[in-house]
Amino acid sequence: MPAILMHLAKAYHFLPDEAEQHTLALKVILDCNDVLMEITNHNGMVMWEEGTWQEFRAHRLADWMTIFEKTGQAHSLKPDTGYLLGTRLTVADIATAALFGSLVHSFPELARDLEHHSPTVANLCERMESRPSIGAFLDNQRRELGNAYCGGQIEQSLRDVIR
C-alpha cells in the first residue's frame, strides 16, 4: 500500500514539495498501514476477544489517534482549517481520512474515541469526505457496500467486540 500511494501521490501532485514534508507524508502513510495491521490483528492472525480488544482500544488505538492529532497540531491543523502537514492537501490527508473515515463509518461506536483523542483529525476526515469528488466516491461505495470494513472472519471478530 505505501508504495502505491506514494506513486499515485507523485503522479497526481499530492506530495508535499519540501523534502521534510515529503518524508512526513510517507511516515503518515506507514502509520496508517500500521494501524490497519493492528486493527485487523495482523490480517487475522488471531481473532479479537473482548479483553484484548478493550486493551487495544484503550491504549494502542488511543495512542495512534493521539499521534495523528499531534502530527496535525505540529503543522497548524485547526478544527476547521488546514491539513495534516500544513496548508495544502497531500496524500497524508487522503490516507488519514481513508483510515479513520472508513473506521468510524463502519464502526460508529469508535467515533467518540476519535473525537476524544483526535478531534482535529476527526474534523479533517469530515472535511475530506465532504469534498465533492471524495463525497461522490464514498456515496457510491457506501451505497454498494454498506458499512462493510474488511469482510470475513476478521470483520466479524471486530463486530463481536466493538460496542
41 — phi, psi (to 5°)? 55, 50
Amino acid occupying residue 159: R
Look up the domain containing 111 and give its range. Answer: 2-161
Helices (H) and strands (E) in the chain, counts: 10, 0
**How far is 120 from 126, CA to CA, in rounded Å?**
10
Query: Are residues 48 and 41 in contact, defined by beta-carbon separation less than 8 angstroms?
Result: yes
**How far is 37 from 88, CA to CA, in rounded Å?**
28
CATH number assigned to the domain comprising residue 143: 1.20.1050.10
Instruction: Identify the CA nearest to 106 among candidates 28, 162, 29, 35.
Output: 162
Amino acid occupying residue 23: T
Per the structure, the count of domains in the chain is 1
**How far is 41 from 23, CA to CA, in rounded Å?**
27
Round the average pLDDT of the chain to a whole number and report it.
97
Cell of 71: 502530527
pLDDT in tens, 22-79: 999 999 999 999 999 999 999 999 999 999 999 999 999 999 999 999 999 999 999 9
How does DSSP classify residue 33?
Answer: H
pLDDT in tens, 89-132: 999 999 999 999 999 999 999 999 999 999 999 999 999 999 99
